Chains A and B, each alone.
Chain A
């Protein structure tokens, strides 16, 4: 009689994977890897994706301000943000900006103007006169987007405050709340975040006060409820969640300039010829709209004044743009 002694490494019949399960091994593997990937690494896709339909629609008139390139998808522009008040990671704002309380919202106006005071957002922005402008957005980190903002021209709003003849500059401040903005625990930058423009820059038709994007109210990570958009300057000039506006006689402080004056000047005009000390500004990575390998590597040459030279170059006539970077 043959007595089969199983070797020690042999599996018991009960331990053998059933053929049906074996045939589904790819599903298990995929599910396992998906679970592992989800658990192991915190990531952008994990952050509760800001669903477009969760944001109230805004009626806005179409304008001629448009760009001859496809729009950056909603998902990309709401998941990839620099908003250091919520952390220095690109996905931090999408994860944490929901803590920001945007209602009610007031803006305090001070300095060299006749109509200073504190204004409710609704008194500042005429929601019946909203327009849509598609602008290029060029980050100093050499990436770019094309974004359909909804809002009103900055100039019209500033004029309401009747700035006086001493008002040569205008400074903006972001809200600063330790409780609502976890990233401000660290002195990454000088808080509250501040930015500024020369008055003639601010009164140019291009600067825009956005309250929405893609025909919806702004998501918090994009600077809700009120943000500046200055399309010919690097992105950090387009200050988010504005709570205070100050007209000044002298050039105001700006957070990035205070952090590193050699790298970030007051003007910060997009200029492919003037390098950032640590990287070239000659070209930029295009975020979205392509996916796959082509999307990952997509680049375009950076344009002088981000392509808005016709409208703004005259503001800097006779200035050395390398010195006044």
Chain B
């Protein structure tokens, strides 16, 4: 349990720092590389960077989706206040992942990008996941929530579910041979989405039950 003495501000600060660490580490490694110092990016730094950012983006997306189940399990309500930050961090890493692929792999050749998108299934999937996350990032402000109204806002933001599914399938499709990590990500997502499905079903059943008892 989180002790009461840790305020929401502290919790947010710790969470912010934790989610920044991968970017800070990677940035530092690139500083070392550019200065021709020993670094930890290996002998194929572009591949390493792409994979590191892709893995991080997907994992932060899964962390975002894990917050609600974790709140339900612990009963610690302030956890939900971390969701926006987590979601925006996931989008941040998705953007970096896309930028590294576009810049370091394709040298910003947009014709090549388009060819990849229409031709290669795993890139089509990855780009679709990105496209679904853009409106969520844009409407992450309090103002946007008020303008849209909570109901429509919530419906829009349920796009995170298909986006996460697309991201996991993107990872599965790009692996060579039968690999375990993409499936582990898939299993975690399956659990996180299953949790919600069960919750909604219970809620619906309870509401139905209420209606029936009210009518009688």
Q: Within the assembled complex, what's the spacing in Å between the Cα atoms of A90 and B41?
A: 11
Query: Is B36 an interface position by the 8 A CB rule?
Result: yes
A45-59 contact mask (Cβ, 8 Å, vs B): 1 or 0 = 110000000000000
For residues 184 through 242 of chain A, which have their beta carbon under 8 Å from a beta carbon of chain B?
186-189
Residue from B46, B107, B120, B178 within 8 A of A285 (CB atoms): B46
Query: Is B25 an interface position by the 8 A CB rule?
Result: yes
Query: Is B77 an interface position by the 8 A CB rule?
Result: no
Q: Within the assembled complex, what's the spacing in Å between the Cα atoms of A45 and B33?
A: 13
Chain A residues contacting B38 (CB-CB under 8 Å) are 45
Query: Is B110 an interface position by the 8 A CB rule?
Result: no
For residues 24 through 60 of chain B, which have their beta carbon under 8 Å from a beta carbon of chain A?
25, 28-29, 33-36, 38-47
On whether the beta carbons of A79 and B42 are closer than 8 Å, the reply is yes
Residue from A41, A76, A141 within 8 A of B43 (CB atoms): A76
- Tell me whether A79 and B25 are in contact in the complex, defined as CB-CB below 8 angstroms, given that A188-B179, A292-B33, A297-B104 are known contacts: no
On whether the beta carbons of B34 and A41 are closer than 8 Å, the reply is no
Chain A residues contacting B42 (CB-CB under 8 Å) are 43-45, 79-80, 90-91
Chain A residues contacting B47 (CB-CB under 8 Å) are 90, 143, 285
Residue from B36, B104, B174 within 8 A of A292 (CB atoms): B36
Query: Is B180 an interface position by the 8 A CB rule?
Result: yes
Count residues of chain A with CB under 8 A from any CB of chain B. 37
Chain A residues contacting B21 (CB-CB under 8 Å) are 40
Chain A residues contacting B39 (CB-CB under 8 Å) are 45
Chain A residues contacting B33 (CB-CB under 8 Å) are 291-293, 296
Chain B residues contacting A287 (CB-CB under 8 Å) are 43-44
- Tell me whether A186 and B28 are in contact in the complex, defined as CB-CB below 8 angstroms, given that A45-B38, A285-B46 are known contacts: no
Interchain Cβ contacts within 8 Å, total number: 81
On whether the beta carbons of A44 and B28 are closer than 8 Å, the reply is no
Q: How far is the CB of A12 from chain B (nearest CB, A)?
A: 23
Chain A residues contacting B44 (CB-CB under 8 Å) are 80, 90, 143, 285, 287
Q: How far is the CB of B206 from chain A (nearest CB, A)?
A: 43
Residue of A nearest to B104 (CB): A297
Q: How far is the CB of A82 from chain B (nearest CB, A)?
A: 9
On whether the beta carbons of A186 and B180 are closer than 8 Å, the reply is yes
- The 5 A-B pairs at the shortest CB distance, nearest first, are namely A76-B43, A44-B42, A43-B40, A296-B45, A188-B177
Please name 21 pairs of A and B residues whose Cβ atoms are closer than 8 Å in the assembled complex, sorted by A. Answer: A37-B25, A37-B28, A41-B40, A43-B42, A44-B40, A45-B38, A46-B40, A75-B43, A90-B42, A188-B178, A189-B177, A256-B177, A259-B177, A259-B178, A260-B177, A279-B120, A285-B46, A287-B44, A291-B33, A291-B36, A293-B33
| A residues lining the B interface (CB < 8 Å) | 33, 36-37, 40-41, 43-46, 75-76, 79-80, 84, 88, 90-91, 141, 143, 186-189, 256, 259-260, 277-279, 285, 287-288, 291-293, 296-297
